[in-house]
Each structure stands twice: as C-alpha cells, then as structure tokens.
Structure 1
C-alpha cells in the first residue's frame, strides 16, 4: 500500500510535470527558434481560411485581399532578392575591373622605373677632381694687394 501511495502521489505527478515541461517549454522553445517571419506570414492566409470555413459568417473581401497580399509577398521578396543580387554582381564586376587596372598601372610604373635605372646614377654635384682655391681674389692679385691697404686705413 505504501508503494502504491508513493507511486501515485509522488512519481506519477513528477512524470506528468516532466512531460509538460518537455512539451510546453523545451519543444516550444525549439519551435520558436526555428520560426521565422516568413513562416508566420505564410501561415496567416491558412488561419484566415480556417476561420472562414469554421464560422458560418462570411469573411469580408478586404480580409481575403490581405491574405492574397501576404501570399504575394513571397513573390515580391524573391524578385527583390534577385534585383539586389544583380546589383551586387555588377558592383563586384566594377571592383574587379578597377583592381585589374590598378595592378596593370603598378606593373607599368615598375617597368618604367627599371628602364630609368635610378639606382646607378652618378651624382652631378660632386666634382671629378678637387680644385685649389686661391688665397686672394682676382682683384687683389691684379692690383698688388691695394684693397688690403684700403681696408686697413
């Protein structure tokens, strides 16, 4: 009797609680993780149709039009995606062409620099032989140091 009482008052409620936790929390969270806005929008027309057939009240045409509009969103989103992809491929094509032209320009600049051979030029400012500087200027030598006497006086 004690085993029966323990089983029905302790183990069975715990098993029911575990099953409810699994269904209402774990599996519901997994379902919500997989749920997307697209799936919700696609399911709205189904809900409208179920409500239309379940009730004997007719659904107004505006509500049916909303259901049709939601069904056409899939088509519109696919066309929009194709348009975006075509623009992305165009932009990638332009970027590739620009990169190819920049690489070609760099190669031509490198070839031009090699033709100039900048590394092995001689410096033109350096004289080939050292020249001797005279002690006196040409005027001083010509007049026998007259300018030295004027400067002293």
Structure 2
C-alpha cells in the first residue's frame, strides 16, 4: 500500500510535470525558433477558413478577401522580386556599356596626345638605325659607267 501511495502522490505528478515542461516549454521554444513572419502570414488564411466554416461565428466577406490576399502574398512577392531583379540587370547592363564607352573614349583621347608630344618625334615602328643601301643589281653594274658619265657631264 505504501508503494502505491508513493507512486500516485510522488512519481505520477512528477512524470506529468516533466511531460508538461517538455511540451509547453521545450517544444514551444523550438517551435518559436522555427517560426517566421512568412509562416504566420501563411497560417492566417487557414485560420480564417476554419472560422468561416465553423457556422457559429459569422465571418464578413471583407475578412475573406483579406484571407485570399494573404494566401496570394507569396505570388505577389515573387512577381515583385522578379520585377526588381530585371530592373537591376538592366541597370547593370547600362552601367557596363557606359564604362566600356568611357574607357574607349579615354583611350582615343590619349592616343592623339601621345602623337603631339615633341619628345617622341618618331613613330613607334620606325627603325632607329639608318638603312643599308641595297647592292647594285647586274643591270645597274652593266650600264653603270654610262650613267656615271651622264651624271658628271
């Protein structure tokens, strides 16, 4: 009899208290950690539908429309994000084109300035050593004497 009394006055209330602590504190804290605003908004239409089908509480049509809007808020947010992303990509494309044009303009403006510089008179590809005169060909050697005499006279 003493075991039975101890069990129902001591062990059973402790087990119930531990179970309540687990459910009402530990699991509730874990649920609140996972809970987001999006999940709360998604739950509101479900609560409105449950209230609407529970015939003892009348739900006005305006509240039903709010519930529908909240149900479709995910679709609205996706469309809004797609619209914003398309605008961002368009802006980035325009900025890239403008940067390329500015770089091309700066390059074309620097090139004439380098040509007008007096310190660099020669072109970059011009040879720095004087060219060798080519050897005279056989034709020039054969008639060279005649041309030399004409030039002297």
Deviation of 1:76 (Å): 2.1
Equivalence for 1:101: 101
What TM-score do you get using the length of structure 2 for normalisation?
0.56
Deviation of 1:50 (Å): 1.7
Deviation of 1:119 (Å): 4.6
What is the SS of the residue equivalent to 2:72? Answer: helix
Counterpart-to-counterpart distance in 1, 2:20 and 2:50: 28
What is the SS of the residue equivalent to 1:59? Answer: coil
Equivalence for 2:128: none
Size of the aligned set, in residue pairs, is 118
Counterpart-to-counterpart distance in 1, 2:113 and 2:21: 76
What is the SS of the residue equivalent to 1:81? Answer: helix
Gaps of 5+ in 2: 122-153
Equivalence for 1:53: 53
Deviation of 1:71 (Å): 1.7
1:15–1:98 CA distance, 2 compared to 1 (3 A)? farther
Counterpart-to-counterpart distance in 2, 1:108 and 1:15: 85
Equivalence for 1:91: 91
What TM-score do you get using the length of structure 1 for normalisation?
0.56
Deviation of 1:92 (Å): 0.8
Gaps of 5+ in 1: 122-153
1:105–1:64 CA distance, 2 compared to 1 (3 A)? same
Counterpart-to-counterpart distance in 2, 1:28 and 1:66: 28
